[in-house]
Structure 1
Amino acid sequence: MTAFNAANEFQKQDNLEIATFAGGCFWCTEAVFLKIEGVQSVSPGYIGGEVSNPTYQEVTTGRTGHAEAIEIVFDSNLISYGELLEVFFATHDPTTLNRQGADVGTQYRSEVFYHTDEQKQITEEFISFLNSENAFGKPIVTATSQASTFYVAEDYHKNYYNRNSDQSYCTYVITPKMDKLKAYFQDKLKK
C-alpha cells in the first residue's frame, strides 16, 4: 500500500479541490459522497495516525491512531466545500466521541482534515454555527486537523456499498444513511 495524495493524481485545475472527512466507517461515508453532484472521486483510506502504510487489520485495532476516512476530489464550480460539510454533518453523528453506532474506537472518530486555511476556517465556523443552533441537541465533538498523509485502503473497500448492498451491515447501517441523503439532499444528487 502506498500513500496517496489526490492532488498528485489529477492535472491541477482551478475548480478541483480535495476534502478529507472521517465520519465512522468509510464504507458509509464513501457511499454517501459517491452520489453527490460535483464529486469527481472518493477514495476510502486511513489518515491521522502514527504508522506508515497501515493495513485495515492494523487500523481496526485502534492502535495506529488512524481514522477510517475518505478523500474526495470535487469540482468547486458544482458544489462548494461548505455544501460538502453540510452533507457530512447530516449523514453521521458528530456528537459521539470515537464511535458511530456499534462501531467503537478512535478509528471511527468524527474528524475533518483540512487542506487549506480557508477549509479550516469554513469548518470551524460551520461547527460553531451548528453548536450555537443546538442542531444536534448535544455538543459536536468533531475534531478539525490539518490533513496529513492519506493512505488509500485496500481495493476490496472501494465502492463497497454498491458492490455489497445486500449484506446485513450495508442494509442496516448504510441504507438508512442513503435514504436520509435522498430525502434531505435531492437537489445535490447526481442525475
Structure 2
Amino acid sequence: MGSETATLAGGCFWCTEAVYQDLKGVESVESGYIGGAIPNPTYEQVCGGNTGHAEAIRVTYDPEVIGYGDLLDIFFATHDPTTLNRQGNDVGTQYRSAIFPTSVEQLTEAEAAIERAQPDWPHPIVTGIEADAPWYPAEDYHQKYWDRVGERNPYCMAVIPPKLQKLHKKFGERVQA
C-alpha cells in the first residue's frame, strides 16, 4: 500500500501544519489553498476573503502507520470545529473548518469522525465536508512556518503551543520523539 493524502482546513494553515508535521506515519505536510473560484490564488487574495478558498493543509501519510480516521480525530481535538468561518481571531470563510475527502472511503470516515468528535464539544460541529477541488500550494515562505519563524511570531506563540499541548496530551504516542 502506498502513501495517501488528507486535505484539512482548520483555520490558519501555519497552526494546523505544526500539529501534523511530527506525527509518526506523516511523510509531509504542505500548506495551501483549496475550495475557491480562481486558479493559483495568492496569500493576499485568499486573506482578502473573496476567492472562496480555505487555508488548508495537505498531509501525505503512510496508512499502515497512521490511518485517515486517526488524522481526523487529531483534527477535531486540536481546533474548534464549532465556530463557523472562524478560528480564534481569524474570521472569514478562508478560515473555515472543512474536510476535503478524495474518495468514498474518506467521505465515510469523515462522517464517522464528526460523530465521534461531537460528544467532546458543547456546541454542534459545523465542519463542512466539501468536494475535493484543485489544490494550490501556498507560497514557499508559508511552508514549515512554525519551524522557521513561529517562535518569533506572537500570533503563532499564542495559538500553536496550546494545540501542540492538546496533541501531546491526547495523542502523545503518535508523535515522533
Same fold (TM over 0.5): yes
Q: Are 2:87 and 1:87 equivalent residues in the alignment?
A: no
Match of 2:128 in 1: 143
Match of 1:121 in 2: 108
Unaligned runs of 5+ in 2: none
Letter in 2 for 1:100: Q
Letter in 1 for 2:156: C
Structure 1 residue 184: deviation in Å?
A: 1.6
Where in structure 1 do 4 or more consecutive aligned residues deviate above 3 Å?
A: none
Letter in 1 for 2:168: K
- Could you tell me the percent identity over the aligned residues? 51
Q: Are 2:88 and 1:101 equivalent residues in the alignment?
A: yes
Match of 1:70 in 2: 57
Number of aligned positions between the proteins: 176
CA RMSD of aligned residues (A): 0.9
Structure 1 residue 65: deviation in Å?
A: 0.0
Match of 1:163 in 2: 148
The answer as to whether partners of 2:76 and 2:117 remain within 8 angstroms in 1 is: no
Query: Whole-Å Cα distance in 2 between the matches of residues 79 and 143 of structure 1?
Result: 23
The answer as to whether partners of 2:73 and 2:117 remain within 8 angstroms in 1 is: no
TM-score normalized with structure 2 length = 0.97
Query: Whole-Å Cα distance in 2 between the matches of residues 108 and 78 of structure 1?
Result: 29
TM-score normalized with structure 1 length = 0.90
Which whole-Å deviations, capped at 9, do the CAs of 1:79-120 have from their partners, x for residues lacking one?
000000010100000000000000000000000000110000
Local SS of the residue matching 1:146: coil
Unaligned runs of 5+ in 1: 1-13
Structure 1 residue 157: deviation in Å?
A: 0.3
Structure 1 residue 138: deviation in Å?
A: 0.6
